[in-house]
Amino acid sequence: MDAYQEAAEILAHAKRAVAFSGAGVSAESGIPTFRDPGGIWDKFEPEEIGTVPALLRTAQDNPELIRQFLLDTVTVFERSEPNRAHQCVARLEKMGIVVAVITQNIDGLHIEAGSQNVIEVHGSLLRGRCLACDRQFPLQRDTLFKRAHEMLDDESGFSIDKVALILPTCSCGGVTRPDVVMFGESVQRIQDAFQVAALCDVMLILGTSGVVYPAAACPGEAYKAGAKLIEINPNEKCFGTMTNVFIKASAERAMRTLMERVKNRIAEGTKKPNG
């Protein structure tokens, strides 16, 4: 049996599968990963922009680097759309196979593809958070990117103070920021993530190097609880002997084939014997 058939067999019998995704699932939506060649941590140093203090320091010393980083980020995210892999994960939820998605991505593409139960452990670019009262609120995608461009293209020059003006002021009067997790900050909803991981019977892992904790511990939680692990990555397998089935392919290609096989397997299972 090939890896796709094996994975389809497991998924077709799953009662509460959980998808666990990283940057690789959005690579084919045009968003570079972090650690692949050309990725964010290949182009920029985490020590320069990875934490809030580093970002503020670099904004003083080298504002053009921050402007370039923000411009790259805005340009990439505004063009991105869910790809077939996000859509297939959403479809598996509608079919009653997947019960939750745990994602390390901040791009909102699982939600845009139609997944309902998404745990965004590293936050979302499409959400703001008040620094005074901690209220979270949705950001309108088009408005956000339009205002970001106005600020980044402003010929009077760039300064970090102007970044705060992109986001609306909170109803309490407080300053707000994008609700994304930077290094050194607390991850979001990690207990919810661990809980669904520990209750799942299958974990479908898509496009993550699994090196950033605590999120990277989710597959281990699922494994400890007896779940089967299916891992999709065009490069290396990242979860070693915990992975039951490894599909060495890009997320879109893998999910397109896997969906076909799952549907066929379910159709075969519902056929009456002898005809």
Query: Catalytic positions, please?
Result: 122
Answer for which of 29, 73, 87, 104 binds ligand OAD (CB under 6 A) is 104
Nearer to ligand OAD, 167 or 204 (CB): 204
> What is the CA 127 to chain-centroid distance, rounded?
14
Nearest 5°: phi and psi at 203?
-115, 125
| 181 makes contact with ligand OAD (CB under 6 A) | yes
Q: Which stretch binds ligand OAD (CB under 6 A): 16-24, 69-77, 129-137, 267-275?
A: 16-24
Q: In the bound complex, what is the minimum distance in angstroms from residue 272's beta carbon to ligand OAD?
A: 38
Containing 114, the helix (H) or strand (E) segment is: none
Write out the binding residues for ligand OAD, residues 22-61 only, by CB under 6 A.
Answer: 22-24, 27-28, 33-36, 39
Q: Is the peptide bond before 82 cis (omega within 30 degrees of 0)?
A: no
Of positions 67, 110, 122, 129, contacts ligand OAD by CB under 6 A: 122
Report CA-CA distances (Å) from 161 to 15, 35, 57, 71, 227.
50, 29, 13, 16, 48
Binding mask 225-254 for ligand OAD (x = CB under 6 A): -------xxxx--x-----------xx---
Residue placing its CB nearer to ligand OAD in the complex, 22 or 219: 22
Q: Which of 208, 243, 244, 257 binds ligand OAD (CB under 6 A)?
A: 208
Closest CA to 192 of 118, 259, 110: 118
Per CB under 6 A, does 108 bind ligand OAD?
no
204 binds ligand OAD, rule: CB under 6 A: no
Phi, psi of 17 (to 5 degrees): -80, 150
| Contact status, residue 190 vs residue 214, Cβ threshold 8 Å | yes
Cis check for the bond before 168: say yes or no (omega within 30 of 0).
Answer: no
Residue nearest to ligand OAD (CB): 24
143 φ, ψ (degrees, to nearest 5): -65, -45
Contact 173, 117 (CB under 8 A): no
Q: Between 156 and 186, name the residue whose CB sits nearer to ligand OAD.
A: 186
User: d(Cα 13, Cα 26) in Å, to the nearest integer?
Assistant: 27
- The residue ranges that bind ligand OAD (CB under 6 A) are 22-24, 27-28, 33-36, 39, 104, 122, 181, 183, 207-209, 211-212, 232-235, 238, 250-251
